[in-house]
Amino acid sequence: MPTNQEIATTLRRVAAVFEVIDSDFFRTRAYQNAANAIENLTISAYDLFEQKKLTEIPGVGPNIANHLDELFVKGKSSHFEREMKRVPAGMFGLLGVRGIGPKIAYRLSKKFHLRFEKTAKNDLLKLIKENKLTGMEGFGDKLIAKLKTSIDNQFNKKVRMLQSEAYPIADKLISYLKAIPLVKTAQPLGSIRRRLSTVGDIDIAICTNSPSNVMPEVLKYPEISKVISQGEAVTRIKLKSGHEVDLKIGRVRQWGSLLQHYTGSKLHNISLRTFAATKSLSLSEHGIKNVKNNKIYLAKDEKEFYKKLNLPYIPPELREGEEEIEWAKENHIPNLVEISDIKGDLHLHTSFDFPTSHDLGVSSVREMLKTAHQLGYQYLGLSDHNPKFNDLSVSQKKKILDKRKLWIRSEKQEYEKTVKSNKIKILIGLEIDIRKDGELALQEELLKDLDYAIVSIHSSFDLSKDENTTRIIKALSHPKASILGHPTGRLINQRDSIKADWLRIIDFCKAQGKILEVNASPQRLDLPDDLVKLAIRSGVKICINSDSHDVNQMANLLSGVYVARRGWATKNNVVNTFSFTDLLKMLK
């Protein structure tokens, strides 16, 4: 079945046809809106089709829904196919290259008979080298050179970077900017500020009342390799590291409007402007314009901006154009969980040396307690991997686990000699593999000695949706299995999420009081935010853990807090904000 992404691509292609052939701007936009909505769905459009709920997707009306029905039933839609045949297929191969939109793609593919999507980029490159574009109306030397560069870049296209990669780059540049005398402040925008798990471009806002004096200073930043484009309000630079950064300049009095505009998301802004239009207001980075008298209201911060629209402040993590504006109108924006609410970390790997199924940690319990103290925690859960399942006898494993327990206790006693107060509680658990058949990789008699268990998939990732669902539910059925660790198993940009029926798993967790982990390891961030939202709406609790193998990683838990916030979590949804007594009840 076509994925949401594939459907969105098809709809965009049909939209492009309407744009270049029919110049039907609004029909074009209707298709683009539908594409955006489907791309941002948290469940598959196919599932909605099965439930006959396609028209509940905002932007999908009866016509597009009918075409999608046909697409799902027959594997293709005659309408989409027919529309796309009106242009040379090479046009679709050119779309997506930076600087090539529908109009240019159409003109080039038609003039040079680019009939194949797959070879279109190469064909165009060849035409450029043979100077075949020279002399075409509207194609000057600069534009042709730009197209060549864009296609070259496409061939070594980069994947979206991790938030943990992008943030430090932005942070370093921001420190530099803040040190410039006329700069009032600076801050990241876009997906960095909304704390998405991955980031495309790095956007930064600079607040100053003297843009013309400040910009030359900004461009002295030693990491810049070249200035890609420069205008009064926006400058795009490339860093020596290869990262591209957009710098937006805003004045103090319009700072709120600027931040709001460039924080996005695009869909949030579109929804917000549609809402503003009902109040005869028009929104832009410059302010809020009353279209009746053309008066512009300047917002110095975002609170003022939203207040002018009669809305409460909407945290950046929620600005995805889903239902946050509806909720804001009702004044129902939740108080999202914060890092200061976190009272402990339940997924930590110690340096206790024994034959585990996976990697050991490198830090002692003593070091972890010291770090926990600095982080203001009240409890820790130690969850080394289970002992090797096949290579050791049950009695050997028991010996190992008993020895581990003694070591943990002695480490704790040693640590407590060094501090006056603040006794941090310790839970002795394990992270246990979920085997292919859903059995836990630890024998029953050893399980009962644990305070709690995190159960996780570390193998057989490629099972079917049904097999994985059954396997996870079976594993969670054990009374000690309180937490499902890094549930989807994804490694961002490296390994896809496992296939599973998350609605069924969430229902099971709700019924049985099981907890879903939000693993804060930067390449995991798992549960992903969209599933966090589904889980929380269903009343399932989450636990935000760092999965540290080194005390230096314990502060990573903050990244998990951002994922939880993007999933609309309040502290009541997160078990490791609870008191130790209440936590124990949840782990039961």
Partner DNA sequence: GCCGTTTTCGGCCCGACTGTTTTCAGTCG
Task: List residues near DNA by CB under 7 A.
Answer: 26-27, 29-31, 33-34, 55, 58-65, 97-105, 137-144, 146, 190, 201, 203, 229-235, 264, 266, 269-270, 273-274, 276-278, 280, 282-286, 289
User: What distance in Å separates the CA atoms of residue 373 and residue 370, rounded to the nearest whole number?
Assistant: 5
Nearer to DNA, 55 or 512 (CB): 55
* Shortest distance, position 427 Cβ to DNA, whole Å: 45
Residues 6+ apart with CB under 8 A from 518: 525, 526, 527, 532, 542, 543, 544, 545, 560, 563, 564, 567
Nearest CB to DNA, comparing residues 180 and 270: 270
Reported as type and span, the H/E element at residue 402 is helix 394-418
CA distance 247 to 208: 12
Output the smallest distance, CB 139 to DNA, in A.
Answer: 6
- For helices 4-17 and 102-111, give the axis angle rounded to 10 degrees: 70
Q: How far is the CB of 137 from DNA (least distance, A)?
A: 6
Burial 160-198 (b: 16+ CB within 10 A, else e): bbbbbbbbebbeebbebbeebeebeebbbbbbbbbbbbb
C-beta closer to DNA: residue 294 or 581: 294
Structure tokens at 145: 């050179």
Task: Give Cβ neighbours of residue 176 (< 8 Å, ≥ 6 apart).
Answer: 221
> Hey, is 578 helix, strand or coil?
coil
Nearer to DNA, 264 or 489 (CB): 264
Q: How far is the CB of 349 from DNA (least distance, A)?
A: 39
Beta-sheet strands, E only, within 277-405: 281-284, 287-290, 295-297, 344-348, 379-385
Task: Provide the 10 A C-beta neighbour count for residue 252.
Answer: 13
**CB 58 to DNA: min, Å:** 5
C-alpha 203/C-alpha 190 separation (Å) is 6
In the bound state with DNA, the residue whose beta carbon lies nearer, of 98 and 423, is 98
Integer Cα distance of 296 and 401 in angstroms:
68
| Nearer of residues 79 and 474 to DNA, judged by Cβ | 79
CB of 545 to DNA, least distance (A): 33
Taking the complex as a whole, the smallest distance from the CB of residue 306 to DNA amounts, in Å, to 16
As measured in angstroms, the least distance from the Cβ of 291 to DNA is 7
Q: Which is nearer to DNA, 20 or 372 (CB)?
A: 20
The answer to whether 110 and 127 are in contact (CB under 8 A) is: no
Minimum CB separation of residue 241 from DNA in Å reads 18
C-alpha to C-alpha distance for 258 and 268, rounded to whole angstroms: 14
Q: Which CB sits closer to DNA, 63 or 493?
A: 63
The least CB distance from residue 225 to DNA, in Å, is: 16
- Select 179 or 291, whichever has its Cβ closest to DNA: 291
Q: How far is the CB of 204 from DNA (least distance, A)?
A: 12
Nearest distance from C-beta of residue 153 to DNA, angstroms: 11
What are the residues whose beta carbons fall under 8 Å from the beta carbon of 60, sequence distance 6 or more? Answer: 34, 37, 38, 54, 68
Conformational region of residue 291, where left means phi above 0, alpha means psi within -120 to 50, and beta covers everything else: alpha
Pick 27 or 504: Cβ nearer DNA: 27
Residue nearer to DNA on the CB measure, 20 or 446: 20
| Neighbouring residues of 220: CB distance < 8 A, sequence distance ≥ 6 | none
Please identify which residue in the block is written with the tokens 């980029």.
Answer: 121
CB of 366 to DNA, least distance (A): 47
Determine the Cα–Cα distance for residues 325 and 390; give it in Å rounded to an integer.
54
Q: Of the two residues 16 and 337, which places its CB atom closer to DNA in the complex?
A: 16
State the nearest-atom distance from the C-beta of 136 to DNA, in Å: 9
User: What pairs with residue 246 in β-bridges?
Assistant: 203, 236
Q: Measure Cα distances from 128 to 36, 113, 122, 157, 528 in Å.
A: 33, 15, 10, 20, 43
Residue recorded with tokens 């009032």? 184
Measured from the CB atom, the residue of 287 and 489 that comes closer to DNA is: 287
Q: Which is nearer to DNA, 180 or 234 (CB)?
A: 234
Cα separation, 72 vs 65, in Å, equals 10
- Helix, strand or coil for residue 455? strand
**Could you give the 3-state DSSP secondary structure of residue 344?**
strand
